[in-house]
Amino acid sequence: MPAVTEPKVEETPDARAETELAPLYLVICWNDPVNLMDYVTHVFQRIFGWPRAKAEKHMLEVHETGKSLLVKEPFERAEHYVHQLQAYNLQATMERFQ
């Protein structure tokens, strides 16, 4: 039997993965008068696996400016994060990244 060889596929710059072509969404956490700063820091660490310093940076941004852009993700992952944040009673939304 002759040896079977696979055809060579040339990749072009336009042959990107489907996830690269999918639009991205921003996950935003908004300030509220209810949750304590330590609690918000804890939630960010738990959901995103961030070290305390990064979680505190975002918590302070929420506290001082009223919101913080947490992550930029494809729709499904961004929606998942928003639901997780809301389950911890944080005000979170997502916006399509332009």
pLDDT digits (tens, 9 = 90+) for 61-79: 999 999 999 999 999 999 9
- Yes or no: domain 22-96 corresponds to CATH 3.30.1390.10: yes
Please, what are the averages of pLDDT over each run of 10 residues along the chain (98 residues)?
59 55 94 96 98 98 98 98 98 96
pTM for the whole thing?
0.78
Instruction: Tell me if 40 sits within 8 A of 90, measured CB to CB.
Output: yes
Helices (H) and strands (E) in the chain, counts: 4, 3
Structure token pair of residue 55: 């979680």
Rg (CA), the chain: 20
- Angle among Cα 78, 85, 89 to the nearest 5 degrees reads 150
- Of 71, 65, 62, nearest to 90 by C-alpha is 62
